[in-house]
Amino acid sequence: FKPENVAEGEFPLVGTPEQVRERLATFVEMGFDEVVVEFVDFPETTSAELFAEEVAPAFR
């Protein structure tokens, strides 16, 4: 699923925790209340831990 008002290539959430928070905030502004996140470095947990510690708390 890709909302019509989101340009191609805007879906990957890549960057610093601050950049990812800003991108997720735009989805919240569009009315999203859930997102599914997949970490490409699995089975490493570094990205998931960083997301849990520095991104997710901003949206609770």
Residue 37 CA neighbour count, 13 Å, CB half: 18
Mean pLDDT of 5-12: 65
> Residue 10: what pLDDT?
62
Residue 45 has pLDDT above 70, yes or no: yes
Burial of 60 (0-12, 13-18, 19+ CB in 10 A): exposed
> What is the sign, positive or negative, of the torsion defined by CA atoms of 26, 8, 10, 42?
positive
Q: Are 41 and 47 in contact (CB under 8 A)?
A: yes
> Residue 18: what pLDDT?
95
How far, in Å, CA of 28 to CA of 19, rounded?
14
